[in-house]
Amino acid sequence: MSSPDIPAPALETVRIWDPLLRIFHWALAAAVVLAWGLGKFGPDIMTLHFFAGYAVLGLLAFRLLWALVGPRPARFTSFVYRPTEIAAYVAEAWRPKPSYWRGHNPLGGLFIVAFLVVLVLQVLTGLVADPDDFVNVGPLASSVPSWVAGKAPGWHEFLGDLTLGLVALHLSAIAFYRIWKHEDLIRPMLTGLKTVRRG
């Protein structure tokens, strides 16, 4: 469905998201949910939680590399915007019409950066954590000062709750775009195809 402000000839459906980026997106979603669930409700011996965390670490390493050498829509240069650009987009985002943005819009780009930073910190605190149980000790706990290793479990738990909040925000944004702006953000991440402004 085209916007009343944008005639159909000014729109085109193009492949925006490459297959590797789409696989990464859904694999990261599964790994984060699994790691969080195992951390909150899993066995006392957190071996499976560690494995899920290693999967998140590997996926983050791929995403950071892909943001430097991947296709243009996946690169940092395509979704890191100046504060003025973000503010201008926010001022328009509440209008009930699709944005037809080519790739991540400025608000979505800001979210991605924030989410990646939180996940990197989440993984790092897990790697260096030395909890009171003396069992679920991170593999790099001995590489940092003891006070850091001792504080890391608390930071790790806080960042886990923050991650859950960001996931909820992400899902809310998808619902907002679908219901209010009539823009489907899920299908492009499944097929790679997105209707955008031409040019």
- Nearest-angstrom CA–CA distance, 20 and 88: 31
Confirm whether pTM is higher than 0.75: yes
**Residue of 112, 135, 125 whose CA lies nearest to 35:** 125
DSSP 8-60: GGGEEEEE-S-HHHHHHHHHHHHHHHHHHHHHHHS-SS-HHHHHHHHHHHHHH
Q: Which is the CATH superfamily of the domain at 8-191?
A: Transmembrane di-heme cytochromes, Chain C (1.20.950.20)
Q: Model confidence over 140-169: pLDDT tens digits?
A: 999 999 999 999 999 999 999 999 999 999
- Nearest-angstrom CA–CA distance, 77 and 176: 26
Q: Quote the pLDDT of residue 44.
A: 84
- Amino acid identity of residue 82, one-letter, is R
- Domain extent listing, the chain: 8-191
Q: Which residues of the chain fall below pLDDT 70?
A: 1-9
Q: Quote the pLDDT of residue 1.
A: 45
